Amino acid sequence: KQEVTQIPAALSVPEGENLVLNCSFTDSAIYNLQWFRQDPGKGLTSLLLIQSSQREQTSGRLNASLDKSSGRSTLYIAASQPGDSATYLCAAPGSSNTGKLIFGQGTTLQVKP
Amino acid sequence: DVKVTQSSRYLVKRTGEKVFLECVQDMDHENMFWYRQDPGLGLRLIYFSYDVKMKEKGDIPEGYSVSREKKERFSLILESASTNQTSMYLCASSFMGSYEQYFGPGTRLTVT
């Protein structure tokens, strides 16, 4: 059964710092891994989707990596800004082929001006 | 762009009321999902549907039912709302065979 873990639960950094958010999963036979952003009281916005055949995916200041062998994914945010403050969730496919996702608990990021 | 809409952003209902939450997607997705999100518990899957009139229970289906009469619309029904169903409800959709889900803005339901 797939389990997804995100550590730390919360992170506070000064503006301008580069940072890494971590996501680990137990079942490495995944098709892809998705990173989402959630602002308080809002829905989830998809940031990046990494296919199992890829090692990295980039969008602007965001770079996500996937290492299936170690069961890990990271989201790298370059030159953080206060507007990056949000909760970041990663999600991996469940162990059955149903389209279901298993979500981590999220990392709440605060970028201080 | 994929658009997933939910009928209400905020909803306040009384204990015992029947509550309908509606979700509509415009991308012809086969799969649709209902989650609830609570502090400390994360996102939990309530029900999902992979085709019209088809549904499967998720991890926490008790106290809920669903309806999918048209491909673009997936309704979550609370037959008799209770205070422990106060939560943020999120709808999502995806293509068959894809794990890439698109989410709606969420409905914050308060049951008093």
Nearest one of A18, A13, A73 to A47, comparing CA atoms: A73
Give me the pLDDT at residue B40, please. Answer: 86
Q: How many other CB atoms are there within 10 angstroms of residue A31's CB atom? A: 15
When the pLDDT of each residue in chain A is averaged and rounded to a whole number, the result is: 93
Q: How many residues does chain A have?
A: 113
Q: Over 80: is that where the pLDDT of B76 sits?
A: yes
Pairing status of strand B87-94 against strand B31-38: antiparallel
Amino acid symbol at B106? G
Peptide bond into B61 cis (omega under 30): no
Q: How many other CB atoms are there within 10 angstroms of residue B110's CB atom? A: 13
Q: Which residues of A touch B88 (CB under 8 A)?
A: 41
Q: Over 80: is that where the pLDDT of B21 sits?
A: yes
Distance to chain A for B41, nearest Cα, Å: 7
Q: Which two tokens stand for residue A79?
A: 């030159």
Q: Which residue of A has its CA nearest to B91?
A: A43
Q: Do B58 and A100 touch (CB under 8 A)?
A: yes
A42 touches chain B (CB under 8 A): yes
Percent of chain A exceeding pLDDT 70 equals: 97
pLDDT band (50, 70, 90) for residue B96: confident
| Gap between the Cα atoms of B47 and B28, Å rounded | 19
Do the Cβ atoms of B18 and B78 come closer than 8 Å? yes
Amino acid symbol at A39? D
Q: Over 90: is that where the pLDDT of A100 sits?
A: no
Give me the pLDDT at residue A99, please. Answer: 78
Distance to chain B for A103, nearest Cα, Å: 7
* Facing residue for A32 by CB, picked from B50, B56, B99: B99
Give Dmax (Cα) for chain A: 44
pLDDT, greater one: A99 or B58: B58
Q: How many other CB atoms are there within 10 angstroms of residue B36's CB atom? A: 24
Do the Cβ atoms of B76 and B68 come closer than 8 Å? no
Q: Which residue of B has its CA nearest to A6?
A: B42
Give me the pLDDT at residue B52, please. Answer: 92
If you search the block for the tokens 């730390």, which residue do you land on? A8
Nearest one of B2, B60, B61, B4 to B32, comparing CA atoms: B4
Give me the pLDDT at residue A1, please. Answer: 84
Q: Which residue of B has its CA nearest to A52?
A: B99
| Gap between the Cα atoms of B107 and A94, Å rounded | 25
Q: Over 70: is that where the pLDDT of A29 sits?
A: yes
Q: Do B48 and A43 touch (CB under 8 A)?
A: no
* Facing residue for B42 by CB, picked from A34, A41, A103: A103
Do the Cβ atoms of A35 and A88 come closer than 8 Å? yes
Q: Over 80: is that where the pLDDT of A95 sits?
A: no
pLDDT band (50, 70, 90) for residue A96: low
Give me the pLDDT at residue B30, please. Answer: 94
Do the Cβ atoms of B112 and B15 come closer than 8 Å? yes
Give me the pLDDT at residue A97, please. Answer: 65
